[in-house]
Chain A
Amino acid sequence: MTARVAVLLFPGSNCEQDVLHAFGCLGVRAEYVWHHATDLGGFDAVVLPGGFSYGDSLRTGAIAAFSPVMGAVRAFAAEGGPVLGICNGFQILCEAGLLPGALRWNAGLKFICRPVDLRVETAATPFTRGAEVGQVLRIPINHFQGNYYGPPELLAELIATDRVAFRYCDNPNGSEGAIAGVISAGRNVLGMMPHPERAVDPSVGGTDGAVILTSLLDSLVAPAGPGSARQ
């Protein structure tokens, strides 16, 4: 089986080539899908790449969340299809209500662009099943608004339901609970601020991100057992 991976393009996306290249390193030719598309039929996975959709006007991801393609993403996710939002993609998924919480300005109002250490908090997702809980991944961040916020009751729910995917080891941006990535209740939508696609090709920045994309591709071929969202 050859996996078909859609990489959504919004006006102002700028990490789509990184995502395409990373999947290429793993032997999969991902495909761009313009934000006017209304159907994601035929695709096995969907990636919302990083960037500055709509110039971050109003709030990061706020306008892209109303793109026509987001209706298709909603339907795709509702059927259990895996959706990965990276950086601005995470912000869009939060604004669209597909993931809970919000991303605020970084504490200290600094744009941060550097590799950080992430701790894998759960392996019970299609994106982390090849990793081990407690494993530390070195993956770059590149954002101004990655300071995760959820009200206390949401944070408690995320912990109780094993939906914190990653935490920062040194919390560079002030996120509540040092949260770097969260998974949906259906466990098939992951949002994360760090850029795993920039840590796949060994010639640029290490390969710690490969476990996330490889896990995703493996999950398409051999879905996990009971409890997995997509059979």
Chain B
Amino acid sequence: MPKEGIADPQGQTIERALPSLGFPAMHEVRVGKRIELVVDAADSAAAEASVKAACTRFLANPVIEDFSVQVVPGAGGEVPA
């Protein structure tokens, strides 16, 4: 997500369009991105740690973006090795 307080041109453009589409009560629109990926890891904690490292180095730009990581098991539970 764009960091708090940093102008987000995509969010601002959407916010300006909302009233004319019949949604005048919506404000403070911010647009981020969601990245889904599969991690080979011993457990959830290890998966989360490695994804956080990838976010810090590559997946997010710390100058303008914040990130959060959510770990969910695959459709059939933990993915077998």
Residues of A within 8 A of B (CB): 58-59, 62, 66, 94-95, 100-102, 104-109, 147, 149-151, 174
Contact = CB atoms under 8 A, between A and B. Distances in A.
Contact of B61 (A59, A151, A174): A59
Contact of A102 (B7, B8, B59, B61): B61
Contact of A107 (B7, B59, B63, B64): B7
Given A62-B58, A149-B6, A109 B13 contact: yes
Nearest to B9: A105
A149 B63 contact: yes
Interface string B64-77: 10000000000000
Given A102-B63, A149-B63, A150-B63, A66 B10 contact: no
Contacts of B6: 104, 149
B55 to A, nearest CB: 11
Nearest to A105: B9
B9 A108 contact: yes
20 contacts: A58-B58, A58-B59, A59-B61, A95-B61, A101-B63, A102-B63, A102-B64, A104-B6, A104-B8, A106-B9, A107-B7, A107-B9, A107-B12, A108-B9, A108-B13, A147-B9, A149-B7, A149-B64, A174-B7, A174-B9
List 10 tightest A-B contacts by C-beta distance, closest first: A102-B63, A105-B9, A109-B13, A102-B64, A107-B9, A109-B9, A102-B61, A149-B64, A59-B61, A105-B10
A150 B10 CA distance: 18
B17 to A, nearest CB: 11
Interface residues of B, number: 12
B32 to A, nearest CB: 12
Interface string B41-71: 0000000000000000011010110000000
Contacts of B64: 102, 104, 149
Interface of B: 6-10, 12-13, 58-59, 61, 63-64
Nearest to B6: A149
A225 to B, nearest CB: 34
A59 B2 CA distance: 13
Contact of A62 (B7, B8, B61): B61
Most chain A CB within a 10 A radius of its CB, from B8, B59, B61: B61
A104 B58 contact: no
Nearest to A149: B64
A104 B59 contact: no
B10 A109 contact: yes
A95 B61 CA distance: 8
B72 to A, nearest CB: 22
A58 B10 CA distance: 15
A66 B9 contact: no
Contacts of B61: 59, 62, 95, 102
Most chain B CB within a 10 A radius of its CB, from A66, A104, A174: A104
